Amino acid sequence: MLSKATGLGKASLYHYFPQGKQGMAKAVMDYIASNFEEAVLRFLQDASTPEERILLMCQALGDFYAHGHNNCFLAMMSLGEADNLFHDQVKQQLEMWIDTVTQVLIEGGIEPQLARERSQDAIIKIQGTLILVRILNEPAIFTRILNDMPRKLISS
Amino acid sequence: MLSKATGLGKASLYHYFPQGKQGMAKAVMDYIASNFEEAVLRFLQDASTPEERILLMCQALGDFYAHGHNNCFLAMMSLGEADNLFHDQVKQQLEMWIDTVTQVLIEGGIEPQLARERSQDAIIKIQGTLILVRILNEPAIFTRILNDMPRKLISS
DNA sequence: GTCTATACACCGATAGAC
DNA sequence: GTCTATCGGTGTATAGAC
């Protein structure tokens, strides 16, 4: 697939990625992590109110996951052989996401432990919804969950 | 793996499964579906109250997924090449689970549409939690989600 | 039914020419 | 840098003896 997409032969790809398959996979991971930060996490570091930041993140999530049609790359990489090679990196990315949301909720006046649980709950829902939508082919579920998310995160 | 586990040579396995890999995978799917029905869904058809049935199902789910240490086979089969071969069967299984929970909630006096959404929410949480626990290696999250689940499903 | 032997395609990777 | 050719290994499956 990479060969076809780039127009390069296999050997040329191995020239750019001396670490072979693992190097190519890491490049994809880094690329997606960078995208996610730019397209989603960025809103959590805005100057606006915590409520507004949460709302913006949820909207951004809809686009990032193509309203349920994209899979989560982190979830993919936590399976099979990839898990052996990238577990630490995947874990770190996910923890960063949870921590960032937690911090915003704390700034919004929510108790630290509750903030952490709500943050976990939100990401659990994203992940679970992507699975349901993928299997059932009902994008409306993704929309429903994402619409409810800001309120569930910030309500007192 | 199958050869080692059964003590049979490859050719013998192909004798029992003339459909090859696909036949073997289907056997695994059917086996797990049967287990799930016997170990989890069974409680939803009990003679007790809807509340009690939901509670029993949630307890059974904890064991079935080894408190977060097992992956969901349906979720696995919805990825990659397997999805092409088994999408319909996977979808049917998942719909059956959602429908069964929905029916119990309706019997418990919850409006049909809300019942359906709550049922989806519960299964979303199971799926999402399995991903988080697998990546973060924090089984406590699974316990927390499962403990809250009966209340969230049946509360008025 | 089970085995050994084999076919065949693909994957990950490298060698070496240009 | 890019290519063709090739290697070793593995996965899926079959042939044919017993």
Residue A92 CA to residue A98 CA, distance in Å, equals: 10
pLDDT tens string A56-73:
999 999 999 999 999 999
Which residues lie closer than 8 Å to A79 by C-beta, 6 or more apart? B71, B76, B79
pLDDT value, residue B30: 97
Q: Could you say which DSSP state residue B71 is in?
A: P
Instruction: Retrieve residue A5's tokens.
Output: 């997409």
Helices within B66-156 (DSSP H only): 73-77, 80-107, 112-136, 139-154
Query: What's the CA gap between B78 and A128, in Å, rounded?
Result: 13
Contact A131 B128 (CB under 8 A): yes
| Residue B156 in this model has a pLDDT that exceeds 90 | no
Decide: B82 and B23 in contact? Cβ < 8 Å. Answer: no
pLDDT 10s digits, B55-109: 999 999 999 999 999 999 999 999 999 999 999 999 999 999 999 999 999 999 9
pLDDT at residue A51, rounded to an integer: 97
Give backbone dihedrals phi and psi of B148, rounded to 5 degrees, phi first. -75, -20
User: Smallest Cα–Cα separation from A68: which of A127, A9, A6?
Assistant: A127
Residue type, A114: L
Q: What pLDDT is recorded for position A156?
A: 83
Tokens (6 digits) for B141: 């999250």
**Max CA distance (Å), chain A:** 58
B51 close contact with A: CB closer than 8 A: no
Distance CA(A29)–CA(A35), nearest Å, equals 10
Which of A117, A121, A141, A148 is the mutation pick for testing B, counting most B CBs within 10 A?
A121
Is A26 exposed, middle or buried, given 0-12, 13-18 or 19+ CB atoms closer than 10 A? middle
Q: Is the CB of B4 under 7 A from strand D?
A: no
Q: Measured over all CA atoms, what is the biggest interatomic distance in chain B, rounded to whole angstroms?
A: 58
**Band of pLDDT at residue A154, cut at 50, 70 and 90:** very high
Name the DSSP class of B72.
P
| Closest residue in B to A121 (Cα–Cα) | B125
Per-residue pLDDT tens for A66-103? 999 999 999 999 999 999 999 999 999 999 999 999 99
Q: HEC string of chain A?
A: CHHHHHCCCHHHHHHHCCCHHHHHHHHHHHHHHHHHHHHCHHHHHCCCCHHHHHHHHHHHHHHHCHHHCCCCHHHHHCCHHHHHHHHHHHHHHHHHHHHHHHHHHHHCCCCHHHHHHHHHHHHHHHHHHHHHHHHHCCHHHHHHHHHHHHHHHHCC
Is residue B33 helix, strand or coil?
A: helix
Instruction: Decide if B127 and A125 are in contact by the 8 Å CB cutoff.
Output: no
Percent of chain B with pLDDT over 70: 100
Mean pLDDT to the nearest integer, A102-115:
98
Mean pLDDT estimate for chain A: 97
| Alpha carbon of residue A22 to chain centroid | 21
Give residue B29's pLDDT. Answer: 97
Whether B132 and chain A come into contact, CB under 8 Å, resolves to: yes
Spell out the residues 6+ positions from residue B122 whose beta carbon is closer than 8 angstroms to its own.
Answer: B101, B149, B152, B153
The model's pLDDT over B123-139, given as tens digits with 9 standing for 90+, comes to: 999 999 999 999 999 99
Report the pLDDT averaged over residues B45-52: 95
Cβ within 8 Å of residue A33, ≥6 positions away: A93
Q: What is the mean pLDDT of residues A1-7?
A: 94
The alpha-carbon gap from A125 to the nearest alpha carbon of chain B, in Å, equals: 6
Kindly determine whether residue B78 and residue A128, on different chains, have CB atoms separated by under 8 Å. Answer: no
